[in-house]
């Protein structure tokens, strides 16, 4: 199986340099979603101090608000400095990048802005260094087309009193750099599906070292990862993130994906989120999304769950378009009605039914409260788009094929 050339570089030599003291400086790796809606990009800058939060704090005044009153050059806090302490009013300054190289701008007007949105510990460089997830804005300060976070955050704030919780089950496939599934015979196929799901043993679990490294790195970073398991197709795995409330779901899943890509980079392999990486009689890869509100989690919450499912059934096409970055074309390869999926053209729901669009767990049916699972999102979905769509339909009671502009 083909692995990357960089994987053969001596990690012992690298470790020698990574152990060097870095003084008072901090490395902040800025991460963003590119113009494909599924690819991630990153670059690093040096900060003079360890950032404590996205909001930041003046070093003299007790609050940002007090400092702003003493700052004559405007409200753009992350680009201005306080006259009293000379530090940026936000711990993490805005930055920019060449959007013409990320499918996000023309070369003649290519500067794009990176707006820090969420911060995590860096498991690769370790403390005090940071991973910084960013929103992307165009030259005119409007959100980039693939910046779905901004509208997602808006609708999450509209329903904050209902405390929407999400849990997303991210499936992925480990591939060689040549696109061949990790551990598969070079000139054939492994044995048929059956023994691999949650399997143990060298002939059943392909690539567990990567899974364990990713899990520990997520825990170090502060990602709310809650589990992992081998999936039905050999070399396919799943990790779960959640429960997360509101906008945190998208933030944590995107950073978990980034960490997975970086771990795989070190091992010389590729993490694929393609919803059907191997055609034929093999399972695809989804991102099943579990959803609940405060009302659903309380006694008698099954009624609210059923009401939400009824709303979802009337807006199936809208959700299919929102559940993969190509408006449903990627999911059409996966949602065939076979291999534990529903048919992309039909909406269905049932208790403990893994072939339905919406599954109500058996325990929820018995206890009459809890959550439901939307099994339609593809592995390469944008979690901001998925969670926003669920809020719009289930809680804001939107109808029709287009989202409401608030």
Q: What angle do CA 41, 44, 49 make, to 5 degrees?
A: 140
Q: Say what the pLDDT of residue 79 is.
A: 42
Percent of the chain exceeding pLDDT 90 equals 86
- Give the per-residue pLDDT at 364: 96
Mean pLDDT of 267-282: 96
| CATH for the 23-145 domain, from 3.10.580.10, 1.10.600.10, 3.10.20.70, 3.30.70.3460 | 3.10.20.70
On the CB side of 126, CA atoms within 13 Å amount to 7
Residue 370 to residue 321: CA distance in whole angstroms: 27
**Over the stretch 37-51, which tens digit does the pLDDT of each residue have?**
999 999 999 999 999
Domain with CATH 3.10.20.70 in the chain: 23-145
Mean pLDDT of 286-291: 98
Q: Can you give the pLDDT at residue 261?
A: 98
Task: Look at domain 156-395 and name its CATH class.
Answer: alpha beta
- CA distances, 353 to each of 52, 313, 328 (Å): 45, 16, 22
Q: Which residue has the higher pLDDT, 254 or 2?
A: 254
Exposed / middle / buried, residue 235 (Cβ in 10 Å: 0-12, 13-18, 19+)? buried
Res 69 pLDDT > 50: no
Residue 75: which pLDDT band, with cuts at 50, 70 and 90?
Answer: very low
The pLDDT assigned to 175 comes to 97
- How would residue 89 be classed by pLDDT, with cut points 50, 70 and 90? low
Q: What is the pLDDT of residues 305-362, one digit of tens each?
A: 999 999 999 999 999 999 999 999 999 999 999 988 999 999 999 998 888 999 999 9
CATH 3.30.590.10, the chain: domain bounds: 156-395
Q: C-alpha 40: how far from its chain's center?
A: 10
The average pLDDT across 88-117 equals 90
Q: Would you place residue 70 in the very low, low, confident or very high pLDDT band (cuts 50, 70, 90)?
A: very low
């Amino acid at each position: 199986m083909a692995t990357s050339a960089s994987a053969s570089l001596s990690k012992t030599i690298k470790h020698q340099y990574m152990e060097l003291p870095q003084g008072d400086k901090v490395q902040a790796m800025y991460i963003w979603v590119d113009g494909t809606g599924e690819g991630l990009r990153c670059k690093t800058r040096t900060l003079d101090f360890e950032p404590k939060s996205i909001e930041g704090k003046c070093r003299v005044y007790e609050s940002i608000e007090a400092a702003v009153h003493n700052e004559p050059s405007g409200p753009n806090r992350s680009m201005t400095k306080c006259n009293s302490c000379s530090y940026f009013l936000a711990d993490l300054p805005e930055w920019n990048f060449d959007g013409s190289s990320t499918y996000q701008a023309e070369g003649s007007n290519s500067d794009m802005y990176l707006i820090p949105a969420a911060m995590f510990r860096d498991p690769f460089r370790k403390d005090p260094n940071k991973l910084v997830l960013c929103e992307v804005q165009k030259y005119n300060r409007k959100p980039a087309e693939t910046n779905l976070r901004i509208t997602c955050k808006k609708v999450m704030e509209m329903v904050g009193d209902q405390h929407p919780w999400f849990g997303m089950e991210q499936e992925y496939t480990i591939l060689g750099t040549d696109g061949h599934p990790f551990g598969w015979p070079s000139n054939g196929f492994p044995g048929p599906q059956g023994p691999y799901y949650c399997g143990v043993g060298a002939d059943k679990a392909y690539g567990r070292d990567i899974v364990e490294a990713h899990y520990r790195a997520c825990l170090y970073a502060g990602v709310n990862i809650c589990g992992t398991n081998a999936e039905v197709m050999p070399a396919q795995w799943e990790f779960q993130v959640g429960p997360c409330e509101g906008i945190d779901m998208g933030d944590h899943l995107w950073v978990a994906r980034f960490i997975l890509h970086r771990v795989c980079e070190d091992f010389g392999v590729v993490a694929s989120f393609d919803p059907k990486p191997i055609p034929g009689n093999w399972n695809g890869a989804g991102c099943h999304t579990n959803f609940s509100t405060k009302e659903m989690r309380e006694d008698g919450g099954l009624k609210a769950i059923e009401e939400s499912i009824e709303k979802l059934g009337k807006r199936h096409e809208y959700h299919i378009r929102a559940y993969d970055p190509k408006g449903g074309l990627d999911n059409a390869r996966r949602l065939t009605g076979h291999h534990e999926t529903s048919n992309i053209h039909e909406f269905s729901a049932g208790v403990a039914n893994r072939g339905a669009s919406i599954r109500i767990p058996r325990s929820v049916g018995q206890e009459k409260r809890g959550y439901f699972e939307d099994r339609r999102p593809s592995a390469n979905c944008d979690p901001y788009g998925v969670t926003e769509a669920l809020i719009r339909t289930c809680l804001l009671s939107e109808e029709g094929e287009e989202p409401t502009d608030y």
